[in-house]
Amino acid sequence: MWALVGGLMVSYVSAMPMFTPLIGYMIVVGIARIFQRRIWQIPILAMFAAAVLGTFLIQMLEIVVLFIFGRSIPFQDSFTFVTLPSALLNLLLALPIYTVMADVAKWVYPREVEYE
């Protein structure tokens, strides 16, 4: 549900066609769920992997959609100036967000988190 809400919000504020963020976010949530099941003992590793893979996937999807609609940017420029900085920023912000969300989860659901 949150992927749908986030995709709608991003599609509202960006110039991308509405389906692009929605499809990208839904795919990333699916990948994150798979990582969560496979790497359940180290959830922070799954979060970092999902953040990096999700960033590349969404950015590449947007580059392809822009190319299809005739508004393409040279691939090397878009990868160098948009995708790589986005991946780095997502990695830098992932750790503080993970810490805050873990604290919020302990506060909201104290019994469920204690047993994990």
Q: What is the Cα–Cα distance from 13 to 6, expressed in whole angstroms?
A: 11
pTM of the model: 0.77
Residues 6+ apart with CB under 8 A from 105: 113
Q: Is 14 helix (H, G, I), strand (E, B) or coil?
A: coil
94 vs 40 pLDDT, higher one: 94
Digit-coded pLDDT (tens) for 24-64: 999 999 988 888 788 777 888 888 888 899 999 999 999 89
Q: What is the Cα–Cα distance from 57 to 34, expressed in whole angstroms?
A: 15
Q: Is 30 helix (H, G, I), strand (E, B) or coil?
A: helix
CB 62 within 8 A of CB 24: yes
What is the pLDDT, as a whole number, of residue 109?
78
High-pLDDT (> 70) share of the chain, % = 95
- Cα atoms found within 13 Å of the Cα of residue 8, Cβ hemisphere only: 4
Looking at every residue in the chain, the average pLDDT score rounds to 86
In whole angstroms, how far apart are CA 69 and each of 8, 11, 66?
20, 16, 5
